[in-house]
């Protein structure tokens, strides 16, 4: 029973719970036992509370029938979401002992759907990183090869699902932080259109780019999770007021006539040969499904990394100014006066990558540099959005690699920040444009490491993207593969 349950889809788990083949308590216990057994070697979870989780599971079992599609199913939250009564650290010493007094809207919505919280997941500090090496709580290991990174910043979420420590998890994506770890760990991750999922209670990194999204084994699972996550929230000024929609409604539509745009800029130099070959095979599979490929251009996409690394640090320097040792979070134990307390608290509480981005952000926003850097980056951002808008006149979805390489070894890029930043070269442009994007597993590259295929949709076209991903997953079994050492 345990093997079938850890590999089951959310729909299968829902059916098993509804038919009383398993209880929520039994299912939650199964995953908690796997966390206890396997997490020490992976470091994916940084907070668990067996009693809290089982109390939620008992409440789910006691609820009157019938229940919703996600009722009684366990999931885990990236530690960027405030979760009432749980430590919410954002992977930082600054918030090491912060217990959230309220739930983020995303957490609230999953609670309302009857889901059970398994714990909080490790992440790059304040979501700043592409490898999960910047966490104060130590790096997360990739379940396919523990000598390699899982990607970041949602690396804990990706590793937990890949190792079957959780059937689903929340993630956040500022420049690729759902899609890149999903690609490196062989699972499905979706970044919705900016504003579709509330950011209330999600600790801010770069407010105009951050977006929460679901991570799971399959597109169908992500559709069910997005149904619960999405919706207008008056507490978030960037939340969009739109009619509710069923993101699973088009999953079974055939793909005949689908136009797939292939940007020349995504298939040029910089992509490893093993990734290129695997993506090409996936595109052939789509042609067999009746789709046609169209060559398109995104001429300004090469500017996305430099534009992002002006805009994101600028917003981060502003958002992180609240962590000053006065109200909550870490405070330096010894200091002279108030200014000394600020300086020592921030010097001791933040890690190197966070400090680097705060310094860059403060610089580009300073007098004399705002016009030269920040304003120009915002203009480039607009050009990137226009490129996508033009491209979608010729195609329905855009495809390419989610990451230029498979998972790399620990330390391979940590000495060179620019090399690390280039890990997100194919994902950043969608955040700058506010578009939805997802990564699905499409095979294996060098050293038998997973490769992710990226699907980018037009604004608010999540249902079509999920349909495109689901149809591929009906024809292939890459999304069902599980790391050998995690069985």
The set of catalytic residues is 78, 153, 177
Our CA dihedral for 76, 82, 87, 89, rounded to 10 degrees, sits at 100
Per-residue b or e along 181-220, where b marks 16 or more CB atoms closer than 10 Å to that residue's CB: bbbbbbbbbbbbbbbbbbbbbbbbbbbbbbbbbbbbbbbb
Q: How are beta strands 74-78 and 259-263 bridged, if at all?
A: unpaired
Phi and psi (nearest 5°) for 481?
-70, 145
Q: Is 250 exposed, middle or buried (0-12, 13-18, 19+ CB in 10 A)?
A: middle
From residue 483, alpha-carbon distances to 146, 161, 446, 474 in Å are: 11, 11, 15, 21
Residues 6+ apart with CB under 8 A from 268: none
Cβ 78 vs Cβ 160: under 8 Å: no
Distance, CA of 206 to CA of 237 (rounded, Å):
14
Q: Which helix (H) or strand (E) holds 47?
A: strand 45-47
> How far does CA 316 lie from the centroid of its chain?
18
Instruction: Quote the DSSP letter at residue 487.
Output: -
Question: Minimal CA–CA distance to 46: which of 116, 179, 178, 138?
Answer: 138
- The CA distance from 320 to 383, in Å, is 28
* Residues written for the chain: 487
Distance in angstroms (rounded) separating the CA atoms of residues 406 and 317: 31
Three-class SS state of 15:
helix
């Amino acid at each position: 029973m345990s093997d079938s349950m850890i590999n089951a889809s959310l729909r299968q788990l829902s059916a098993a719970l509804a038919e009383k083949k398993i209880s929520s308590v039994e299912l939650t216990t199964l995953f908690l036992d796997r966390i206890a057994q396997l997490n020490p070697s992976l470091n994916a979870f940084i907070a668990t509370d067996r009693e809290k989780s089982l109390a939620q599971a008992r409440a789910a079992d006691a609820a009157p029938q019938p229940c919703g599609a996600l009722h009684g199913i366990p999931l885990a939250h990236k530690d960027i979401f405030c979760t009432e009564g749980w430590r919410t650290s954002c992977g930082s010493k600054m918030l090491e002992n912060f217990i959230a007094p309220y739930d983020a809207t995303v957490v609230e919505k999953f609670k309302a759907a009857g889901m059970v919280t398994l714990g909080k997941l490790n992440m790059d500090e304040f979501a700043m990183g592409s490898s999960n090496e910047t966490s104060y709580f130590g790096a997360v290991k990739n379940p396919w090869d523990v000598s390699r990174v899982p990607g970041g910043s949602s690396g804990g979420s990706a590793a937990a699902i890949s190792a079957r420590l959780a059937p689903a998890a929340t993630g956040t994506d500022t420049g690729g932080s759902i899609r890149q770890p999903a690609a490196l760990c062989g699972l499905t991750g979706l970044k919705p259109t900016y504003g579709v999922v509330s950011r209330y209670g999600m600790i801010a990194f770069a407010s105009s780019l951050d977006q929460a999204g679901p991570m799971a084994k399959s597109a169908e699972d992500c559709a069910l999770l997005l149904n619960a996550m999405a919706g207008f929230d008056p507490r978030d000024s960037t939340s969009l007021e739109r009619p509710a929609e069923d993101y699973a409604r088009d999953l079974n539509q055939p793909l005949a006539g689908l136009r797939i745009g292939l940007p020349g800029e995504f298939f040029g130099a910089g992509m490893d040969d093993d990734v290129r070959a695997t993506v090409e095979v996936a595109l052939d599979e789509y042609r067999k499904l009746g789709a046609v490929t169209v060559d398109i251009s995104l001429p300004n996409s090469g500017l996305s990394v430099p534009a992002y690394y002006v805009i994101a640090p600028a917003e981060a320097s502003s958002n992180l100014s609240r962590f000053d040792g006065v109200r909550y979070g870490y405070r330096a134990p010894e200091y002279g006066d108030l200014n000394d307390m600020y300086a020592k608290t921030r010097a001791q509480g933040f890690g190197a990558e966070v400090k680097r981005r705060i310094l860059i952000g403060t610089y580009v926003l300073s007098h004399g540099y705002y016009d030269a850097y920040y304003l120009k980056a915002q203009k480039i951002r607009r050009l990137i959005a226009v490129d996508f808008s033009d491209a979608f006149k010729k195609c329905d979805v855009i495809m390419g690699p989610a990451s230029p390489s498979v998972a790399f070894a620990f330390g391979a890029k940590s000495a060179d920040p620019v090399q690390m930043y280039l890990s997100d070269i194919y994902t950043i442009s969608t955040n700058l444009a506010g578009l939805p994007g997802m990564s699905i597993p499409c095979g294996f590259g060098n050293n038998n490491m997973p490769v992710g295929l990226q699907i980018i949709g037009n604004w608010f076209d999540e249902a079509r993207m999920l349909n495109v991903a689901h149809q591929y997953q009906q024809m292939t079994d890459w999304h069902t593969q599980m790391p050998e050492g995690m069985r």
